[in-house]
Structure 1
Amino acid sequence: MAIFIQAELAGVTTAQYDALNAKLQALPGDTFKGCMSHVAIPTGSGMQIFDVWESEESMRTFSDLLMPAAQELGLPMGEMPKVSPVHDYWVPEA
């Protein structure tokens, strides 16, 4: 079942987010396998992340790569993301 993730990255700047994203993209293999969509927006207090994943398992596999990379960059560890089951997901034709 697809899941929706909402994460608040308090204290993380856009430059830090970009560095983390570059680090993850440089990893071997399909780092983002199972990610159906990803949106990152800057807020007054950091960044907010909104993802849709094919399954909780695929999100956990990604998280196992994400957390060490974030720690290596010294990013602050925030609260656990909110996880919700997806009822419906579609993308209009481009």
Structure 2
Amino acid sequence: MITSHESARVDPAGILSALAAAGAVIAFGLPAAAVLLAVAAMLFAVVSRRRLRRDPHLRGSRLALAGFLVGIGVALVEVTPALIGLVLVLVGGSPGGS
């Protein structure tokens, strides 16, 4: 059993998840880059959570969770306006007639 925090390793996927989420926030004005980084953050978080369940000596669950939640938030904020616009165009039909 590990008695000190220094001897436990932090899962690299958890670190990558947090870094990708931070990159998504920084790239917020560029929708394609922000969504790509947000999806990467979510994928790294899922990989990290699986590893953390299998190996009780690994640390980094909070990093993975933070990366996942920030990734979801950035993806929703970046994608939602485009989806709303698409729905309005599809529902609205042609601008001038029947």
Larger strand proportion, structure 1 or 2? 1
| TM bin (shorter chain) | under 0.3
Between Structure 1 and Structure 2, the one with more helix by share is: 2
Q: Which structure would you say has the larger Rg? A: 2
Q: TM-score, normalised by structure 1?
A: 0.28
Query: Larger relative CO (CA 8 A, sep 6+): 1 or 2?
Result: 1
Q: TM-score by structure 2 length?
A: 0.27
